[in-house]
Each structure stands twice: as C-alpha cells, then as structure tokens.
Structure 1
Amino acid sequence: MSTLALSRHSWWPWARRAAVWGFFALIAWLLVRQALVIDWEDVLDAIRALPAVSLLAGGALAACSFALYSTYDLLGRHITRHRLGTGTVMGVTFISYAFNLNLGSLVGGVAFRYRLYSRLGLSNDTITRVLGFSMLTNWLGYLVVAGAAFCFWPMTLPPEWKIGSEGLRVLGATLLVVALAYLVMCALARGHVWRVRGFGLKVPGFGMALLQLAMSCANWSLIGGVIWFLLQGQVAYAQVLAVLLVAAVAGVLTHVPAGLGVLEAVFVALLSHEVPQAQLLGALLAYRGLYYLLPLAVAALGYLLTEARARRLRAPALRGGR
C-alpha cells in the first residue's frame, strides 16, 4: 500500500467523525436556540385554530402516501418471485414504514421487515433483496423530486444565509444527473448482477426503473402536500416540498428517531421569515400527529395481527415435523 493511501486511511475516519459530530452540534444548537424562544401557548393556540378542512385534506394525503408506499415491496416481490399475497406484502410494508418513521430505519424499516417476513416464510436473502429494492425506490424518487425542486424552483433562503439560489441549482442538477445515470444503467445493463457484501443485486429493466421513479416521486409529492395543506397555503408548495426534502436528509444523517426536533429545526430555520413561528410549529406538530402517530397506532395493531397470523401458518408445519 502506498504512503499516500496509508496517510488517507489514517486521517479519513477522523475527518468523517468530525464532520458528523459537527453536523450533530449544529442541529443541537438550532434545537436549543429555537426551544428557548418558542411561546408554546401560542403553538397550542395555532394547532387549535387549524381549520377542519386542512386537517381532513392533510389526513387524506397522508393516507394516500402510506397506501402508495405500501406497494413498494410489491416491486420487490416481482423481482424475487416470492409467493406472499398482495395484502400480506402491503401490510408488512405499512407496518415497517410506520415504525421506521417513529423509531428509525434500523428498528422499523429493517428489523420489522426481517421479523415479519421471516415469520411468513421468506429467506434472509429474499428479504434483503426486497428491502434493498424498496429503499432504492424511495431514494430514487427523492433524487428526482429534490433535484427538480432545487434546480427549477430554488427555495427562498433567509437573508442571513450565505447560500444563493445558484448553489441550489447546481445541487439539484447533480441529483438529477445521478437519477438519470440509474435509468441509463437499467436501460443498458438489464439483468446484470452486482455483488454487494455477498448479496447479488440484479439490475432491473428500464420499465421497472420508470415505475420506481413514478411511484416514489408521487409519494414524496404527497408528503409535501400534507404539510402544505396544514400551512394553509402560506408558502408556495414547491418551497414547502424543498424544505421537507432538506429535513428528510437531516433526519437520516442525525439518526434521531422520527427526526424528532430535526424536522422542526430545519423548517423554522428556512421558513420562519415567511410564516409566524407559532403557526409553523403548530402545523408541523399536526403533521406529526397525522403522519407519524396515527399510522403508528394502526401499525401496532397490524403487527399484533400479523404475528398471530404467522403463528397460525407455522403451527401446521411444526405439528407435521413431530
């Protein structure tokens, strides 16, 4: 190994840790700064003042988003050719997504899928391929929606921020190029198997890639619509969607379950110069109720029912093995 390579290996882990902890410190500073100046009584008043039509519209879009996301694992079923029914697959995906939002990806998106799918008879290799394809679908749409939002409708940043719209346009164009590269790969290398840590990932066809793109873009757009309705149109939809996409990445990077506080900090930092802070936080807390807590209650019940069904399916096999 060359001296340059050894040098890189010695400083790179430390630089990466410093960057991660620096980001954590920035988020913590934003959270503390905002919490100290918030009038929480005004926030509660803002929640109570939300019109019923905004809550109903937000709830309807949240339900549509969950229904759409629950079909992601059906794409994985098509790829792996496993035989679980459509309702079963959508149920597992819904449960995993709800727990993923509230408890983090390792507990929800990963652990719950492995637990439920294995109880329903799928092998670890099949579960890994389904999970990987679902995650790929989700983030492929993110690339396109974020790329389009940043490139064509760059958000209006607070006056004190040093980042201009041109920097956002460059970032957006980069994200779109990455998504385009995936589509080109699917068109030219269909069926090629990539090996990642012992698992084979088969490149889907171009038609499947377009379907992934359409489904995920629609889902991210629906999530943005939930918050836009709760904000009662005080901010342009494209800007609300762009801020949501920034908050989504911030939540992933910080590994905070449910992005608790991170989502609010990003929205306050980017939109408080346009929307009164109490109204903004009231809308975001209502969003958490509609998109996080209510689905979690349904998913908890669904999890218990799925476990009971899995036990019933396994019982004949256990008796037959005696």
Structure 2
Amino acid sequence: MGKHSNQLKQFVGRHFLSALSLILCSIAIVMVWQELRRMSWGLVWENIGHLSPVQLAIAGLFTLCSYGAIANYDLLAFRYLKKQLQHHKVAFAGLITYTISPNVGFAFLSGSMLRYRLYRQWQVSQLDIAQVIAFTNLSLWVGLVTVGGFIFTVFNLPLPTAIELPLFAQSLRGLGLFCLALSGLYGLGNLLLQKPLRWRNHQFTFPSLQISLQQILIFSLDWGFAALALYSLFDVSISYPVFFGIYVLAMVAGLISTIPGGLGVFETVILFFLQTTQPEEVILATLIVFRGLYYLLPFAIAVAALLLFEYRQTKKS
C-alpha cells in the first residue's frame, strides 16, 4: 500500500505543473473564443480594404519590437536579483506569461502560476520565483506611473464624458502630477534607501537608480512600439507623440474605469479622439485588426509554444 502511495505521489508531482499550464491554456482559449464570437467580423470585412499590405507589415514589425521589449521584464528581474539563468529561458518564460495570462483573466494570478510552472522546471527556487513575480509587476507600474504622469502633465487631453476616473474627473493634469510625485518618491527611495526594508520575515531592497531607469525604458519601448503598431494602421494627421498620449490614456482608462454598453473603454477613448478623422466604422474595424495582430496572433503562437514545451517535458519524463 505504501509503495503504491509513493508511486502515486511521484506521478502527481511530475505531472501536476504540466496539467496546471494545460488548464490555463484551455481557459485562455475559451476566453479568446468567446471574444472572437463577440467581434463584428462583418464590419471588419466591409472596411478592411483601406489597410494596405505595407501597413500590416509595418504594424507587424512594431508588434515584434514591442514583444521584444516585453521579454526584457524578466531578464531585468534576474539582473536585479543577481541570479543566473540562461537568457533564452528567461525570455521564453516572460513572453509566455505576458502573452497568455491577460487572456485568462486574473492576470496577476494566472501569470504567477505560469512563471512558477516554467521556472520550477529549471530549478529556480520558490523564493526567487516570488521575487521575480513581484519585480516584474513592480516594473509595469513604475513605467506606467512615470510615463503616464509625463503624458497627462504635458498633453492637455480631454476625457470622454462617458468615462469617469476616480478623483481626477476634472483634470488629467492633476492625475499626471500625482503620478509624477509617486515616481519621484520611488526615485528618492532608489537613492536614499540602500539597506533592505524589513517587515516580519520579508524584506525589500530598492532597485538601483540604473535598474529603475531600465524599468522605465523597457515599459516605454513596450507601450511605445504597441502604440506605433496601432498608429501605422491609421491614416490620420495626428502626430505620433500626441497619439501615444491618446494610447496611454486609453490603456489607463481601461485599467481603472468602467463604462456601460457595448464598446470597451480602450475603443471608446480611441474613437473619441479619432472620430473627426475617419468614419466610425473604419476606426472600429482598424481596432479589431490591431487586436488580432497584437493580441490574438501572439496568443496563438504562445499557446502552441507552451504546448510544445509541455510535450517535450512529458517525453523527457
């Protein structure tokens, strides 16, 4: 009885993590399938003719650049922790996580589970995995607060009346200054707090100023190239810096606001700013193409790569 029990535990231990990633993939595929069913494909086919193959190719190139930046979040985390792991493995884990987890929902939880599955396969300790998860999520917010603060302070962007941002409904500049203040406090922590902050059994060491600047740079390249991918699909007279500000506002509004009705918050903000430049149907069709190019195509590639990874791990065991 004891022998069979031990064999069962060993079998479960070997295959639990693989089963976990397969479950996450299945959930993500179902979520994406539901999203695809809700899309107005007739609208796309009717208005897709305005996009040239050159525009699609350029948008695809900028999409690759954005995902190239995304791969560096985990690489920077290992540099911050002063831990060693082959770069291609770290980049693979980061890309798989950032591509699949947003489609599962509860991105922090699902992303953490994917990182745990992949890094445990490569003998990274649980403590180091937890620190990588914390640092990569911190990097996103450090970049967002800094870049968003700059954008909202410099550009006087109006907010669509259908969208409400808590506390800052009257002035986005107020939100921008608040974000810059937070970014400044973080920078002071980098300079002044060299010793780890301790709380119970946990400790946090502020990244160096160099690491913090790299956090902001990676985020800027990530969102900057994503905005360029969308910008290249539109034929508008708006300059790219202003369009990037619109893109950041749309993304931030999507994170912290809700809107009733059919359109998502991101689409509502983009439509609000571009409605005088192109017909509404063309703008919405372009946004659907962008979603397919930037989100759905990389998602399909990531799922295939993860399934191939799991297949190889099963063959090894």
After TM superposition, the score normalised by the length of structure 1 is 0.74
Structure 2: how far apart are the matches of 1:93 and 1:162? 33
Q: Does 1:174 align with 2:175?
A: no
Instruction: State how far apart, in whole Å, the 2-side matches of 1:230 and 1:42 are.
Output: 16
Q: Flag structure 2 segments of 5+ consecutive residues without an equivalent.
A: 1-37
- Counterpart among 146, 154, 164 of residue 152 in structure 1: 154
Structure 2 residue matching 1:122: 3-state secondary structure: coil
Partner of residue 318, structure 1: none
| Post-superposition offset of 1:171 | 1.6
CA distance 1:126–1:136, shift in 2 (3 Å):
same
Is the alpha carbon distance of 1:212 and 1:158 closer, same or farther for their aligned partners in structure 2, counting shifts above 3 Å? closer
User: How do 1:94-173 residues align onto structure 2 when only pairs under 5 Å count?
Assistant: 94-104=95-105, 105-106=107-108, 108-157=110-159, 167-173=171-177
Local SS of the residue matching 1:200: strand
Task: Tell me by how many angstroms 1:48 deviates.
Answer: 3.1
Give the drift of 1:288: 0.7
Alignment of 1:250-269 (within 5 A): 250-253=253-256, 261-269=264-272
Q: Whole-Å Cα distance in 1 between the matches of residues 289 and 162 of structure 2?
A: 29
> Which residue of structure 1 aligns with residue 20 of structure 2?
none
Change (3 A) 1:192 1:155: same
Work out whether residues 150 and 180 of structure 2, in 8 Å CA contact, stay in contact via their aligned partners in 1: yes
Return the match for 1:229 from 228, 232, 247. Answer: 232
Within 2, Cα distance between the matches of 1:194 and 1:48?
A: 59
TM-score by length of 2: 0.75
The answer to whether residue 283 in structure 2 is matched with residue 280 in structure 1 is: yes
Is 2:208 the partner of 1:205? yes
Tell me the alpha carbon deviations over residues 224-267 of structure 1, each in whole angstroms, 9 at most, x when there is no partner: 11111111334332343233323323443479xxxx93422332
Query: Aligned equivalents of 2:310 and 2:84: distance in 1?
Result: 18
Q: Which moved more, 1:292-301 or 1:102-111?
A: 102-111
- Report if aligned partners of 1:99, 1:299 keep a CA contact under 8 Å in 2: yes
One of 293, 306, 310 as aligned partner of 1:307: 310
CA shift for structure 1 position 107: 5.4
Give the aligned length. 274
Bigger mean CA deviation after superposition, 40-49 or 287-296: 40-49
| Match 2:193 to one of 184, 189, 193 | 189
The residue number in structure 2 matching 1:86 is 87
RMSD of the alignment, in Å?
Answer: 3.2
Q: How far has the Cα of 1:290 moved from its partner?
A: 1.2
SS of 2:238's equivalent in the other structure is coil
The amino acid across from 1:45 in the alignment is: E
Q: Deviations over 1:146-166 (max 9, x none)?
A: 112111122255699999998
Q: Give the superposition deviation at 1:200.
A: 2.8
Aligned to 2:23: none
Once residues 202 and 70 of structure 2 are traced to their aligned partners in structure 1, the CA distance between those partners, rounded to angstroms, is 24
Contact 1:40 1:278 (C-alpha < 8 Å) held by counterparts: no
Partner of 1:320: none
The offset of 1:284, in angstroms, is 0.9
- The answer to whether the 8 A contact 1:54-1:232 is kept is no
1:98-124: per-residue Cα shift (whole Å, max 9, x none)?
112322314542221122222222222
Closer/same/farther in 2, CA of residues 209 and 272 from structure 1, 3 Å limit = same
- When residues 178 and 194 of structure 1 are mapped into structure 2, their CA distance, relative to the original with a 3 A threshold, is farther
Q: CA deviation at 1:130?
A: 0.5
Secondary structure class of the residue paired with 1:294 = helix
Q: Tell me which amino acid in the other structure corresponds to 1:177.
A: A
Equivalence for 2:63: 62
Following superposition, the deviation at residue 186 of structure 1 comes to 0.5
* Residue 292 of structure 1: aligned partner: 295
Distance in structure 2 (CA, Å) of the matches to 1:181 and 1:169 = 18
1:65, distance to aligned residue in structure 2 (A): 0.7
Deviations 1:42-84 (A, max 9, x none): 5432223212222111111111110111111111112333332
Structure 1, gaps ≥5 residues long: 1-34, 316-322
Instruction: Summarize the Cα distance change of 1:236–1:275 in structure 2 as closer, same or farther, 3 Å threshold.
Output: farther
2:22 aligns to what? none
